[in-house]
Each structure stands twice: as structure tokens, then as C-alpha cells.
Chains A and B, each alone.
Chain A
Amino acid sequence: MKRSFDFVVKFANVNGSGSASANLLFAKSLFRMGLGVVPKNIFPSNIQGLPTWYEVRVTQTGRAARRDGVDIMVAMNAQTYSQDVAEINPGGFLIYDSSLPRAFSRQDITILGIPIARMCAEVYERPRERQLFKNVVYVGALTALLDMDFSVVKQGVHDRFKGKEHLIRPNVKALEMGRKYAQKHFDCPLPIRVKKGRGDSDRIMITGNEAAALGCLYAGATVCAWYPITPSTSLAEAFEKHAKRLRLDKDDKRQVAVVQAEDELAAIGMVIGSGWNGARAFTSTSGPGISLMAEFIGLAYFAEVPLVLFDVQRGGPSTGMPTRTQQSDITACAYASHGDTKQVLLFPADPKECFELSAEAFDLAERLQTPVIVMSDLDIGMNEWVTKPLEWNDARVHDRGKIMTAEMLDKAQHFGRYWDVDGDGIPYRTLPGTHPTKGAFFTRGSSHDAFAAYTEDGRINAENLDRLTRKFATAAQVVPKPVIRKSGRTSKLGIINFGSTEPAVREAVELLAREGYKLNTMRLRAFPFGKQVSRFAEQHERIFVVEQNRDAQMRSLLMTEAGIPGEKLVPVLNYDGMPLTAEWVRQQIEAVIETDKSVAKAMRLSMRAM
């Protein structure tokens, strides 16, 4: 068999069996060896007993997209044997627990049986240990089969059990058992193996939720109110973990408040109360929470209260697929709440951008005095991604927006909370408690005039709505710009994508280029759309809009909000809940290019222009 250095290892486990930390040890060790790793956790919405998978794509190039097809399957779950074995690429390998005899029908794969349960039963006393160390044994075997640097793996065990040193010995023992068994019984290493990596030692491996939480910390968020929901929970939890350590005053009191609310309505209500009162506040949730928060999001929009909301999207509709990824809350968030409402959305594409855009979100929310929704998803939020290190510019000044201090109020002739003094649609606000006699106003969700007074005069209300439109136009100028990549300068074919589809789209563009199809890409980073978006549309004849939902939600938004004609926008839709693969994107786009006459025409146009 041909040697391969770009391969996929998949672990089939039972959830609750302790496999997660062993699988992470495997991925992290490869990462530390300087290889590209793309780990994806494919887990059930369940605590114990159901099938769960962990997939690691290993690359030399540092590609970040998931890839279909399994080269090595570590099958540890008898419930799913047949399905798992069927998934292995021809020429691939099956590693399984051979403590009990098994027959597998495939002739085109190599089967490597290791009596894992028996080995553990011989060495460990307690049932829980026997179970847990089974996972470590197969990692040990993989170190030999794939020619991994064993010292790196051992170091990983040491780091993992810092503070619980008594666990290091038995873990290393299990690793060695697996490794020795493989060395003795199999022809190690396999043709599929690791090659020394690029040694990008500055890279980090982090989940988007953790990075976003750090972004909130660096943005100076002091209030987090949240309600648990997969896949957003780890964001609030990570924030609390870091804040507990980094936000202590000299008396060890906390310069932060984290409240687990009774539901999402209360969570966003608290965030609005804090934002109104001048603290930077946020909440994190997923689709069902967005639906519950809708009324309050409208209040914050209309009363112009800054807040940051993370929507770590999962499969919908309704409870949907809580542990699978989608980008299907675009419409619900862009127009969250009844009446004429529009919300500012940000679309991070990886954990590093989760950090950067969450910090940016707080500046935007206060500058624009409106909710800013950071649209992450399960893939970015919960999977570990390899990214460049996080960075903070110490010279950066947090933009707190237009707030009138007591001195400013003393100097001012009038104060009108919703008075568009600067013509950018953004009024000035005051914080409660600022001045004994000036600047107090009544915040309300009912129609109001420039001085925050209740009005039932429809013309005044319409004027206020128009000002909000002006404010949204200002937002379009200040939100993060899209990232445009030209594959062929003159290509008339383009791709628009956003968020976690980025690695697959980047790789697909390379694959397509190899076949002679050059496409320019524009990765959206924010809504409302800036002028770059319409310009990109004008420059291209046909644009593939790649997104992970059924209804082409972003495409609709581009049509209605950027005025791009629908004929131009070809939907490329995935909604099976799995992180996107480059191969899938390539196939979809190629199929259209080869069958659709108008696309072919666009192709010819770009050829001629070349």
C-alpha cells in the first residue's frame, strides 16, 4: 500500500466510558509533534451508553477541514461494529478489541485485533480502571502503529494529570502495554503513519467557546448571565473559570458576576439590565434560547441597550440535533423579535476569530447601543481547532460609545436620549446615578420621542424608526469587513461563505483550481453588509453561497439586504449536522459548473478575461 501522511483515524466508543480524554491525548500528541490535526467530536445528546465517535484528520499541510472516509477505525463499541467497519476506506485498517473472537467480512482492509479488555483485566483491579484504561491501551498501540514520538505522548499524560500524580504511572503503563503489544504482533509502523511535522510551535489547540470566553474577559465583560444549553454551555463555564482566577481585587473579591439564570428570558433580561447600567454584559445560548429571548432582543434593539449575545448554533428546527452543527439561525437572529427589527451579527470562522470578534462585539454593542449577536456554531464552539496564538494589543482602547458624564451634562444645553445629534443615528446615553438633576430618562419598549417620552404620534414613531435605519447604515460601515480571496483575478465565479465552513471552502477552492476552475471567495464576517459585499456581487456573474441550512438563509439575506439578484446566487446547502468537507463542496460546485449553462457562460467569460 502507498504511504500516506494525510489520513483519518476514527474512534468508535460508548459515551460515558472515559474515551474522550484518551482520544484527546491522541490528537494533542500529534498536534504537539507539529502535525496538522482536525479533531471532531461526534457525540450523542446523552450522558452514558450511546455510541459516540471521535475523528481525527491528520495532515502535513495544516489543513483544517474535516475529511470523509476513515483510514484507521478504532472500533470499541460492539453496538456499531458493522456500521464502523463499513466506513473504512479500502486498504484501511481496523483496530478492535479481540478479547472475544469476532469475524469481520471485509477482505479489503487489514484487521488488527488487540485483546484490550483481557490485558486490562490482568493488570487493573477495579472495574472502573479496567474500563478507563482500555482507551489508553489503544492510544498506546497507535503510537507504535503510526510511529508517533512516544516521549510526546508520555509528556501529555504528565500534563493531563498535573496535581493528580498518582494517576500518571497507571496511565503510562497502559500506554506501554498497547505500544508493546502492537510492536510485538504487528508490522509497525503502518504505511499510514505520521511524518515529522512542521513544528509550528506557536500554534495553539483550542475550542471556539473557550476562545470566545477569553475574548469577553479581555473586552472587560463583568456580567455573564446564562442558561445551560449545548453547545453554548462551555462558553459561559470557560468565562467563569478564567474570571475566577483573573478578576480578583486586592481582597480576593470578584470583579465579575456570573449568574446561572432560571431560563434564557431571565438570562438576557439580566444582560439588558447590566448593559443599561453601564456594565459590559453577555449571554451565550443556542437556537431554542434565541427563540425564548426574542421579545427581549427587540426591547434592547428599540430601547437601544448594548449587549453581546453568543448564538452557538446547533441543528434545528426545535430541539433538533442538539449535538450536531448547523448555521440555521441566520434569519432568526438577523430579524430577531417582532416588528421592524434588525440585529448586528458577527460570524467568526475559527477560535482565534471567536476571541477577536467577541472582543470586537462589545465595542460595537456600546458604540452602536444595540445587541450584537456572535454567530458561532457547534463545530467551532466545541471542537478543538489548531490556530495561531491569541493576541491582545495592550494599546487598544475599549470603545465605550457615546456616554454623557456629569460634566458633559452640566455643559450641555439639552439632553435627548434618542436625539441624533451627530447625524449617524447613534444618540447619547446616560447611566443611572450620574447627575442629581440632569440626564435622567425613561427607558421603554413603547414608542418614544427623541427625549424618551412616550408618544402615540405615529409620525414621531416613524422618525425614530428611520433614525434606527440610519444607525444600522452606520453599523454597516463599522462592522468587520469580509475577507476576499482572489483565486483568479478575473474570475467571474465566486463563493460566498461564512463561519465554520471556511476550512472546507478554502480546501475546495484549491481542489477546484486543480481542475481548472478558478473561483474567488468572499467570507462574510458581519451583518449588516458593507459596500464590499455588493461590489463583490457586481464583479461576479455567478456566486455560490455555501451555508449549513436547508433554506439558504444567508442567500436570502444577501438578496434582501444587499440587493443581489437571486439568479446570481447559487445555493450550496448542507444540513446533515456534520462539519463540512472540502470534497462535498467541490462536488456540489463542480456539478453546477458542469450542468448549468449560465455558469458555463460565466466560466467562459472569466476565461476570456484571462
Chain B
Amino acid sequence: MTYMKKPLVKHPDLPKNELGLTRRDYEGLVSTLCAGCGHDSISAAIIEACFELDLPAHRLAKLSGIGCSSKTPTYFLNRSHGFNSVHGRMPSIATGANLANRDLIYLGVSGDGDTASIGLGQFCHAMRRRINMAYIVENNGTYGLTKGQFSATNDKVSKSKKGEANLFEAFDLCTLAIQLGAGFVGRSFSGDKGQLVPLIKAALRYNGFAFLDIISPCVTFNDHDASTKSYGHVRTHNETMGRLDFVPKMQEITAQYDEGETVSVPMHDGSLMRLHKLDDEYDPRDADSALATLRKRYERGQVVTGLLYIDEDEADLHALLNTTQEPLNAVSMDKLCPGNAVLQKINKSFR
């Protein structure tokens, strides 16, 4: 029952962020997902990330399609407006919302069915248009809500719970995202909060299309031994490319790394992405090297996680369309409506 409100018990000693808000202020309704579902861990990571970012929740809009994963925006950020749209079409809703008000932060949550099948076209085009948003796929290799059919991200070697073979190769959403214009691409695992929270923070702050493919096991339909999207498989095959520290603007850099292994990527708003690399063959600022690494590791059966690619030249659709800085939904009617005198001139051109 997603309409169940969480009891509001205020602990006076709960830690507060810069806005004076506690983690509770970023929560949503009680989740109705299966106990142990990876999606719930991602909701928790989103709550943590927003809390740590001192984000005014009402300045964020959460958008989703249809699926268990797409239900989750009800379970975090109660103070944000949410839009649970139709199956596979969240990217277009996000695009339109973003066009109307460029000042809000947009967080899209989708599933692998929602994104890689019915919504593949819209997903690709949103990246191509560089919509300024964070787009999360809660990837379980299956259609949870319709009870366990294979999705297009399910690896060919993976079998169904009943042992049926999967005939088709998987789409690798990160590869696709790098190729199609996402400026920020990462992969993570719902079970790795330490990696997940900084990635979500960075994705929310990135100015452009930030994509996160988060493996999120479906305990009910796809968490068995023959599944590559199971907790067990991801834990044993996870290969982290590097640890990301997201350093918000004005914050002092405290962590120390050996220089050679660290890539620092400054962002337009003054914040910093610091990637502590574990594989020195690859540079996340280079799409070709990221793609090659993804391919190579995939063939070895590894699940590569971490920040995989970042384009330092942030650019979004508004920059490409040359729209005004003022949100379009706030421009006053007297500026938008040219008035009768202009219309009479226009009439003349039709005589």
C-alpha cells in the first residue's frame, strides 16, 4: 500500500544538514516492494545523497515510467513533486518538464524493461538531446511488475528462475549511453551504498544527461544461481573501475590519494569529481577507452562498476536551443504576448 504514511517520530538528536533537515525529511511513503528488493536500497541511497547534498527537496522533481522500479519515487522525497507517467515514456515527460523550468533538478527513475524495451527510443533521444537530468535505471534483468519475463538487459548466459534459456544478447545500457551523448555514465550495485551515494550525488549535480545503471536484484523473480543479476553474482563479479568522491563546491578536499591514480574533474558549479582509479589503462574522460574497457571486461564475465565516463564539457538542451535563463514557466505574459500593434503588422504581411 503505497498510500501508507510513515509514522512521524521526531528524534531531537537526528543529525541535520545545512538546511536544518534530517534524513527523515527526505523520506517518502512506506515501500510496498518485496522485502529485500534491490530497488529499496536505491531509494535509501537517493535519500542519503539528497540529504548530504543539502538539497531543498521541493526544487527536485522525480519522474518515472511504469514498473516496480518506477513506483519507487513514492518511497523517497515526499516534499518533491513526482510524476509516475506511462510505461517507457518518462524521458519525454522529463524533457518537457525541463524545458518548462530549467531551474529544478530532475531525477528520473526507470527499470530495465521501462528503459531498454518499450522506452528505448525515448531513452536514446533524451541522451542525444542532453537533457539536464539524472537518469537511474534500476536494472534487475527482468520485468518485476509483470512477474518475471526476461528483459533486454538480461545477459544471454543468464537463465530464468525456471531454468529457461535466454535467446538474446543483452543491451549494455552504459555502452549505449556513452555512444549516444550522455555526459556522465556510471554503473553501480544496489548493495554497495558506499559507491552508490557519491555516484548519485555527482549525477544530480552534473549539468547534462547523467546516467546510472544500477544493478538491483529482483529477489522474487531473478535472484537465483543462474541469474547474472543476482546478489551473489554481482558480489562475486563486481569490478570497480575506481572510487568516486564527489566534492561539493566550497568543500575542502580531505581525502588523500597518490597523485598518479587520481583524476580530478572540475564541474561548472565549482564542485569536483575526484576519481580514484583502480585500472590505470583507462581514463573516464575518454569515451573510446571507457567503451573498450566495458567490452573487454564484459567478455571476461565481469560486472564493471563505478564512474565509467565523464564529459567535462557539460552542455544541456537549453544551451543548444539558446533558451533564456529565466525558466520558461516564469516568463510573464506581457513578455510572451506581442500585443495587437505587432499583430497588425503581421496582418500586413498577409495582404
B328 touches A214 (CB 8 A): no
A119 at the interface (CB under 8 A from B): no
A253 touches B96 (CB 8 A): no
Q: What 0/1 pattern do residues 375 to 407 of A give for CB contact below 8 A with B?
A: 000000000000001111110001000000000
Bound Cα distance from A449 to B3, whole angstroms: 10
A217-B338, A247-B336, A394-B339 known; A455-B86 Cβ under 8 A: no
A437 at the interface (CB under 8 A from B): yes
Shortest CB distance A239–B (Å) = 13
Q: Which residue of B lies closest to A359 (CB)?
A: B337
Bound Cα distance from A169 to B351, whole angstroms: 22
A111 at the interface (CB under 8 A from B): no
A279 touches B84 (CB 8 A): no
A257 touches B321 (CB 8 A): yes
A296-B86, A434-B58 known; A272-B101 Cβ under 8 A: no
B95 touches A254 (CB 8 A): no
**28 residue pairs bridging A and B, Cβ less than 8 Å apart:** A205-B350, A214-B346, A220-B333, A223-B96, A255-B331, A257-B318, A267-B92, A269-B85, A271-B96, A273-B92, A273-B96, A274-B96, A274-B329, A276-B93, A277-B61, A299-B85, A390-B347, A393-B340, A394-B340, A431-B329, A432-B61, A433-B104, A440-B81, A442-B81, A443-B84, A446-B84, A453-B2, A454-B1
Contact of B81 among A219, A281, A433 (CB under 8 A): A433
A272 touches B93 (CB 8 A): yes
Across-interface contacts of A161 in B (CB, < 8 A): none
Contact of A455 among B3, B81, B343 (CB under 8 A): B3
A277 touches B350 (CB 8 A): no
Bound Cα distance from A254 to B101, whole angstroms: 14
Across-interface contacts of A270 in B (CB, < 8 A): 92-93, 95-96, 99
Contact of A443 among B3, B82, B351 (CB under 8 A): B82
A274-B97, A279-B328, A442-B74 known; A265-B347 Cβ under 8 A: no
Q: What 0/1 pattern do residues 431 to 465 of A give for CB contact below 8 A with B?
A: 11111110011111110010001110000000000
Across-interface contacts of B58 in A (CB, < 8 A): 432-437, 440
A246-B342, A273-B100, A432-B104 known; A263-B121 Cβ under 8 A: yes
Q: What 0/1 pattern do residues 62 to 94 of A give for CB contact below 8 A with B?
A: 000000000000000000000000000000000
Q: Which residue of A lies closest to B328 (CB)?
A: A222
Across-interface contacts of A249 in B (CB, < 8 A): 324, 326, 335
B89 touches A392 (CB 8 A): no
B325 at the interface (CB under 8 A from A): yes
A493 at the interface (CB under 8 A from B): no
Q: What 0/1 pattern do residues 189 to 227 of A give for CB contact below 8 A with B?
A: 000000000000111111000100010011111110100
Across-interface contacts of A394 in B (CB, < 8 A): 339-340
Q: What 0/1 pattern do residues 289 to 325 of A give for CB contact below 8 A with B?
A: 0000001100100000000000000000000000000
Closest 5 CB pairs of A and B: A273-B96, A269-B92, A279-B100, A270-B96, A432-B81
B79 touches A436 (CB 8 A): yes
B351 touches A269 (CB 8 A): no
A445 touches B85 (CB 8 A): yes
Shortest CB distance A103–B (Å) = 43
A253 touches B78 (CB 8 A): no
Across-interface contacts of A453 in B (CB, < 8 A): 2-3
B328 touches A257 (CB 8 A): yes
Bound Cα distance from A253 to B323, whole angstroms: 5
Bound Cα distance from A246 to B335, whole angstroms: 9
> Which of the four size classes fits the interface of chain B?
35 or more
Bound Cα distance from A255 to B89, whole angstroms: 26
A392 touches B343 (CB 8 A): yes
A398 touches B323 (CB 8 A): no
Across-interface contacts of B98 in A (CB, < 8 A): 273
B83 at the interface (CB under 8 A from A): yes
Contact of A276 among B74, B83, B89 (CB under 8 A): B83
B148 at the interface (CB under 8 A from A): no
Task: Work out how many contacts link A and B, with CB atoms closer than 8 A.
Answer: 233
Across-interface contacts of A271 in B (CB, < 8 A): 96
Bound Cα distance from A253 to B317, whole angstroms: 13
Q: 12 extra interchain contacts, Cβ-Cβ under 8 A, other than A255-B328, A273-B83? A: A205-B351, A253-B322, A253-B324, A268-B92, A269-B91, A274-B100, A432-B58, A432-B80, A440-B82, A441-B82, A444-B83, A454-B74
Q: Which residue of A lies closest to B122 (CB)?
A: A266
Across-interface contacts of A203 in B (CB, < 8 A): 351
A454 touches B3 (CB 8 A): yes
Across-interface contacts of B333 in A (CB, < 8 A): 220, 398
Residues of chain B whose beta carbon lies under 8 Å from any beta carbon of chain A? 1-3, 56-59, 61, 63, 73-74, 78-86, 89, 91-101, 103-104, 121-122, 124-125, 129, 317-318, 321-326, 328-329, 331, 333, 335-340, 342-344, 346-347, 350-351
Bound Cα distance from A446 to B85, whole angstroms: 9
Contact of A433 among B74, B103, B323, B325 (CB under 8 A): B103
Bound Cα distance from A274 to B95, whole angstroms: 8
Q: Which residue of A lies closest to B338 (CB)?
A: A246
Across-interface contacts of B129 in A (CB, < 8 A): 259
Shortest CB distance A341–B (Å) = 14
A222-B329, A281-B96, A445-B85 known; A266-B125 Cβ under 8 A: yes
Contact of B95 among A253, A259, A449 (CB under 8 A): A259
Shortest CB distance A440–B (Å) = 5
Across-interface contacts of A390 in B (CB, < 8 A): 343, 346-347
Shortest CB distance A113–B (Å) = 35
A32 at the interface (CB under 8 A from B): yes
A398-B333, A443-B82 known; A265-B100 Cβ under 8 A: no
Bound Cα distance from A433 to B77, whole angstroms: 13
Across-interface contacts of B85 in A (CB, < 8 A): 269, 272, 299, 445
A261 at the interface (CB under 8 A from B): yes
Across-interface contacts of B351 in A (CB, < 8 A): 32, 201, 203-205
Bound Cα distance from A217 to B326, whole angstroms: 18
Across-interface contacts of A443 in B (CB, < 8 A): 81-84
Q: Which residue of A lies closest to B59 (CB)?
A: A433
Shortest CB distance A225–B (Å) = 7
Bound Cα distance from A219 to B336, whole angstroms: 8
Q: Which residue of A lies closest to B348 (CB)?
A: A204
B324 touches A436 (CB 8 A): no
Q: Which residue of A lies closest to B80 (CB)?
A: A440
Shortest CB distance B342–A (Å) = 7
A466 at the interface (CB under 8 A from B): no
A488 at the interface (CB under 8 A from B): no
A266 touches B92 (CB 8 A): yes
Q: Which residue of A lies closest to B339 (CB)?
A: A394
A214 touches B343 (CB 8 A): yes
Bound Cα distance from A251 to B323, whole angstroms: 10
A576 at the interface (CB under 8 A from B): no
A277 touches B121 (CB 8 A): no
Bound Cα distance from A253 to B94, whole angstroms: 22
Across-interface contacts of B344 in A (CB, < 8 A): 389
Bound Cα distance from A281 to B97, whole angstroms: 10
A223-B99, A253-B324 known; A454-B343 Cβ under 8 A: no
Bound Cα distance from A437 to B56, whole angstroms: 10
Q: Which residue of B lies closest to A201 (CB)?
A: B351
Q: Which residue of A lies closest to B331 (CB)?
A: A255
Shortest CB distance B207–A (Å) = 17
Shortest CB distance B93–A (Å) = 4
Q: Which residue of A lies closest to B344 (CB)?
A: A389
Shortest CB distance A478–B (Å) = 20
A278 at the interface (CB under 8 A from B): yes
Shortest CB distance A254–B (Å) = 5
Shortest CB distance B159–A (Å) = 32
B82 touches A442 (CB 8 A): yes
Contact of A255 among B81, B124, B335 (CB under 8 A): B335
Shortest CB distance B246–A (Å) = 23
A262 at the interface (CB under 8 A from B): yes
Bound Cα distance from A299 to B89, whole angstroms: 11
Across-interface contacts of A445 in B (CB, < 8 A): 84-86
A222 touches B100 (CB 8 A): yes
Q: Which residue of B lies closest to A397 (CB)?
A: B333
